Homo-oligomer: A and B are copies of this chain.
Amino acid sequence: MQKVVCVLSGGMDSTLCAYIAKKSGYEIIPLHFNYGQRTQKKELECFRKICEDLSVDNKYEIDIPFFTAIGASALTDDSIDVPISGIEDGVPVTYVPFRNGIFLSIAAAVAEKEDACAIYIGVVQEDSSGYPDCTDSFISKMENSINQGTKETTKLKIITPLVHMTKEQIVQEAVFLNVPLKDTWSCYKDENKPCGVCDSCRLRAKGFDLANQIDPIL
């Protein structure tokens, strides 16, 4: 059974992504990051529940607290408010500098150590917050970098099953695959009750609405 590393925050997108990887017949190694984000505790709790549901043998929980030292994002710097007035054009202040570049680099190191053949990551380009590190073109360049900068015997694909899906399709597919959406968390702001007004809550709500589904965490 070939192994794949799945970047898994505990949100709806990365959770669906991990279930798609499992359904494709891989042994999955979920990889979670505690990076000092506002909802770190809640996300870790979701990650662990999802790993149990997925019956994984091997998982990584990696602490990278330096993100708060870098800051420059509403998610990692308490002095910057999370915007609540709706999604706007351009890169929002919730953008964390080169977050997925850092996540994928660490995932590459884990994958190389584990002899995995791919990294799954649940980036979404269409219905997204406009992050530059969630695009197809970034992912393909990063895949090239990783294969150039690791051992010749290491051949890694970066697989992004959600990159061109809408939030509606994501919810439909998650329901179809029996993904435990009740154990996922998307809100940027709060760890107890989704705020409903941050970009991430809005995108999630849009998906459930259009898919005619009720969000089990509400």
Q: Does A108 contact B (CB under 8 A)?
A: yes
CB atoms of A98 and B105 under 8 A apart: yes
Inter-chain contact B100/A102, CB cutoff 8 Å: no
For A72, A138, A149, A150, the residue with the greatest tally of chain B CB atoms inside 10 Å of its CB is: A149
Main DSSP-derived SS at the A contact region = helix
Taken together, the copies of this chain in the complex come to 2
| A138 B149 Cβ-Cβ under 8 A | yes
| Chain B hits for A148, CB < 8 A | 132, 135, 137-138, 141
Q: Which residues of chain A (146-160) have a CB below 8 Å from chain B?
A: 146, 148-152
Of A49-57, A58-66, A195-203, which binds chain B? A58-66
Q: Is A218 an interface residue (CB 8 A)?
A: no
User: Are A144 and B146 in contact (CB-based, < 8 A)?
Assistant: no
- Contact yes or no, B113 A106, CB < 8 A: no
Q: What are 11 residue pairs bridging A and B, where the CB atoms are less than 8 Å apart in the complex? A: A96-B109, A98-B105, A101-B105, A101-B146, A101-B150, A102-B106, A132-B151, A132-B152, A133-B149, A141-B141, A144-B145
A31–B137 CA distance with the chains assembled, in angstroms: 28
